[in-house]
Amino acid sequence: MKGRVVALDHYRGRSAAALISDGRLEDFLIDPPDDSRPVPGAIYRATAERPLKGQGGVIVRLAGADGFFRAAKGVKPGQSLLVQVTSYAEPAKAAPVSDRLMFKGRTVIVTPGAGGVNISRRIRDEETRLRLRAAVDTEMLEASGYGAILRSQAAHADSDEIAAEVDSLTGLCRDVLADTEGPPELLVDGPDAAGLAWREWSLDRIDAHEAHAGAFEALGVLDELDALARGAEALPGGGVFYVEPTRALTAVDVNTGGDLSPAAALMANIATAAALPRALRLRGLGGQITVDFAPLAKKDRRQIEAALRKALQGDPIETSIVGWTPLGHLELQRKRERLPLWEEMT
């Protein structure tokens, strides 16, 4: 099917959402398992428990789980505080949390304690920026001590929609900030797959919606998910790269295949850099990523980095290029916003 299609269906018994562009799977979201694992974006009233000496943080008790609060200077055991889950925890570890709460909507993010109105740098048209700024009640935000960040999707929304979302999020923010007393409790749940798709995908560019049992099979999503489990990603010219998650890191290995021409390695490496964000996104992989490129000269590293940075511009998950190791591997650090898909397939 041509165009961009959003499909809602079930995968292995859980609700999921798929974004397909011209018949190719571009993104895939699935509801977290019902195992009380804290979901990124969830806000808890927590109780501080014990400090972790040498790690600069403290363990906090959430509702049914533990969190790790890194910037915990001055926090005392037994103290009640509001925290937000920032990423999924590695197995058997406490969920990373922060006291810098963000109330995120489709067009705007409300930030208590961080005043001012900021607009996404992706919105460059000055008339649009002026319209968006006028849609926000800055006096109300200033009076409450809140700030707002207008997201790139706000450019395609009308002023009434933006104003309504600001009102809704500021109301939620006000209620949460007033609810500081009591035992550990989940105050705001993290988004499910459908909610995250509505919030993060540019719905103004969607050509069709499919929401029914069998949608994934009809659109070829199940076949693409099966291919992801094999770990191999084909490259133009016969090359391939492999994505192999381990407990400590995710290893990516680039192979030129049967192409023995002088430019084969560089072409395969640039193609891998361009395809890597999608490959990691669909597999839900984060943490440390180590890429073993095909043999390349040091002078070619800038081209690889440029291709990767360009590809990361369209990726919604925060990823940092850490640098090159003495062995010539490129290391990335990627936020753990999703559960690894391979956990669902094993």
State both tokens at 102. 């963000």
Give residue 344's pLDDT: 60
Give residue 345's pLDDT: 57
Token match 């009308």: residue? 158
**Domain covering 103-181, topology:** Ribosomal Protein S5; domain 2 (3.30.230)
Alpha-carbon gap, residue 50 to 61, rounded angstroms: 10
Three-class SS of 62-80: CCCCEEEECCCCCCCCCCE
Alpha-carbon gap, residue 319 to 333, rounded angstroms: 6
- The reported pTM is 0.88
Token match 């006028």: residue? 134
- The CA-based angle 332-335-339, given to 5 degrees, is 115
Contact present, 334 and 289 (Cβ < 8 Å): yes
189-241 residue pLDDT tens: 999 999 999 999 987 778 888 989 999 999 999 999 999 988 999 998 889 99
253-302 residue pLDDT tens: 999 987 777 789 999 999 999 999 999 999 999 999 999 999 999 999 99
Contact present, 8 and 215 (Cβ < 8 Å): yes
Alpha-carbon gap, residue 29 to 18, rounded angstroms: 6
Each domain of the chain, given as residue ranges in start order, spans: 1-31+192-228, 43-100, 103-181, 231-345
Give residue 205's pLDDT: 77
Output the tens digit of pLDDT for each of the chain's 346 residues.
Answer: 678 999 999 998 899 999 999 999 999 999 988 766 799 999 999 999 988 877 778 999 999 899 999 876 778 889 999 999 999 887 778 999 999 999 999 999 999 988 889 999 989 999 999 999 999 988 888 888 899 999 999 999 999 999 999 999 999 999 999 999 999 999 999 999 999 999 999 877 788 889 899 999 999 999 999 999 889 999 988 899 999 999 889 999 999 987 777 789 999 999 999 999 999 999 999 999 999 999 999 999 999 999 999 999 989 999 999 999 999 999 999 999 888 887 665 5
**Domain covering 43-100, topology:** OB fold (Dihydrolipoamide Acetyltransferase, E2P) (2.40.50)
Across 42-64, b (16+ Cβ under 10 Å) vs e yields: bbbbbbbeebeeeeebbbbbbee
Give residue 115's pLDDT: 82
- Residue 278, burial from CB neighbour count under 10 angstroms (0-12, 13-18, 19+): middle
Residue 28: helix, strand or coil by DSSP?
Answer: strand
